Amino acid sequence: MKKMLFAILFLLASSFFVSCGNDQTADLTPSLPSKNAQVASAPVSVPKFTPPANSAIDEKKAQQYANASAALILLGEEWSSKIEQAQGEQKVAILQNYDEARDQVCSRVGLAGIAEYNWITNVAAKDSSNADSFAKAGIRLD
């Protein structure tokens, strides 16, 4: 199961393309670092996330968030059918592996796992002072 997880992560990292369909945002397509099969097969360490004292983020963190968002969408598409088709104990195991995969995806793009991704979604994205950082990363906050 872990080999399959890392194969999916490798595919996500190596063939990641998002088309916005808008010429103004074409240059804002998130990019993931390329990974070779050897690196992708080894899990990365997911640091413990401690929320910072303030909700300000820089452009680099906003770009990491944008990359993680796109990768999580692709990961969700890959895993959703597996989760729907699974029954009982198998479904629980798949869901646990999916949570680990989400942590790995976020960590591979520079975040402290899904915990930091969720903090940015729920806290930093709501802070209007971060609008410029998000805009430079190709994310428009409405």
Q: Is the pLDDT of residue 105 over 80?
A: yes
Any idea which residue has 């916005």 for tokens?
A: 20
Residue 59's CB: how many other CB atoms inside 10 A? 14
Read off the pLDDT of residues 40-59 as tens digits, 9 standing for 90 and up: 558 888 899 999 999 999 99
Read off the pLDDT of residues 119-133 as tens digits, 9 standing for 90 and up: 999 999 999 999 999
CB 65 within 8 A of CB 49: no
Sequence letter at residue 81 = S
Sequence letter at residue 58 = D
- Label residue 105 exposed, middle or buried (CB < 10 Å: 0-12, 13-18, 19+): buried
Average pLDDT over every residue of 5-16: 46
Tell me which long-range contacts 91-100 makes (C-beta under 8 A, separation of at least 24). Answer: 93/1, 97/1, 97/2, 97/5, 100/5
Helix (H) or strand (E) holding 3: helix 2-14
Average pLDDT value for the chain: 78
Q: Is the pLDDT of residue 116 over 90?
A: yes
Read off the pLDDT of residues 64-101 as tens digits, 9 standing for 90 and up: 999 999 999 998 888 888 888 888 888 888 888 888 99
Sequence letter at residue 135 = A
| Entry pTM | 0.69
State the pLDDT at residue 82: 84
